[in-house]
């Protein structure tokens, strides 16, 4: 049994970023054509496009600020014209802010995180879900975080935005379900990426002691989870929050 996404078009936001590259590569390896969204990392996006094209699938790059309605609509029109309407949407983009105690966190940081987590999900779904509805097939996978469950000190801006994303996704799963569109979340832990490999920071003993599996996950683990939820192997899974963190957090019932 293998994951076969041939004939599908996947759009990954923040695809030029650390986890985004692994997700986009994995979807391409599974046979999907890939729309590579980026905000500022044009060079990395172009390099990823060349890499994915070598897999024998189509890939194009698209620049947009996913917190701006007009930019999202421009991207929607461009993707549809070049690759066709995406039926796999991966909401991965997020901006970075410094983690500080709540009493010292600037209010602007909360607005920033809300924009790239919650507002992104709203705008991207409004732009791309109508075509999925028409097709009566679609997959939306939002990248959340274990921090939405841990809510540790200094995480308030990030965790609150990701918890807001969780609410949007759960509502969407109910609203889009009648159209045979699944909506799920993948929640990574502190994941090893190319940045760690380049810096030699893969090992984090203090963190690893808090993980039942005793190690950090790899970016490929996130790509694998996304590909599974995007496939027909997961056709009856919707509304799920899937931690990919070695058991460090466990969603309750």
- CA 67 to CA 133: how far, in whole Å? 23
- Per the CB < 8 A criterion, the answer to whether 3 and 26 are in contact is no
- Per the CB < 8 A criterion, the answer to whether 41 and 92 are in contact is no
Catalytic-role residue among 110, 158, 207, 241: 158
* Beta-strand relationship, 33-38 and 9-12: parallel
> 150 in helix, strand or coil?
helix
Residue 222 has phi, psi (to 5 degrees) of -70, -45
Question: What does the DSSP assignment read for 95-109?
Answer: -------GGGS-HHH
With a CB cutoff of 8 Å and minimum separation 6, the contacts of 215 are 208, 246
241 among known catalytic residues: no
H/E element, 138: strand 138-143
Residues designated catalytic: 158
């Amino acid at each position: 049994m293998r994951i076969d996404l041939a004939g599908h078009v996947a759009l990954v936001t923040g695809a030029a970023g650390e986890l985004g590259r692994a997700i986009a590569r994995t979807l391409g390896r599974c046979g999907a054509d890939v729309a590579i969204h980026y905000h500022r990392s044009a060079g990395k996006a172009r390099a990823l496009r060349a890499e994915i094209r070598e897999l024998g699938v189509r890939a194009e790059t698209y620049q947009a600020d996913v917190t701006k309605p007009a930019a999202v609509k421009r991207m929607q029109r461009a993707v549809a014209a070049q690759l066709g309407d995406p039926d796999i949407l991966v909401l991965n983009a997020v901006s970075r802010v410094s983690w500080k105690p709540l009493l010292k966190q600037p209010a602007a940081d909360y607005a920033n995180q809300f924009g790239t987590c919650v507002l992104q999900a709203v705008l991207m779904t409004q732009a791309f879900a109508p075509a999925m509805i028409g097709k009566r097939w679609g997959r939306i996978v939002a990248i959340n975080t274990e921090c939405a469950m841990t809510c540790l000190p200094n995480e308030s801006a990030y965790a609150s935005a990701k918890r807001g994303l969780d609410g949007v996704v759960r509502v969407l799963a109910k609203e889009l379900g009648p159209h045979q569109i699944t909506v799920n979340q993948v929640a990574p832990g502190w994941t090893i990426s190319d940045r760690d490999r380049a810096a030699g920071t893969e090992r984090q003993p203090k963190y690893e002691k808090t993980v039942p599996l005793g190690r950090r996950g790899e970016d490929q683990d996130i790509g694998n989870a996304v590909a599974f939820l995007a496939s027909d192997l997961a056709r009856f899974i919707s509304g799920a929050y899937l931690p990919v963190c070695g058991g460090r957090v466990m969603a309750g019932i």
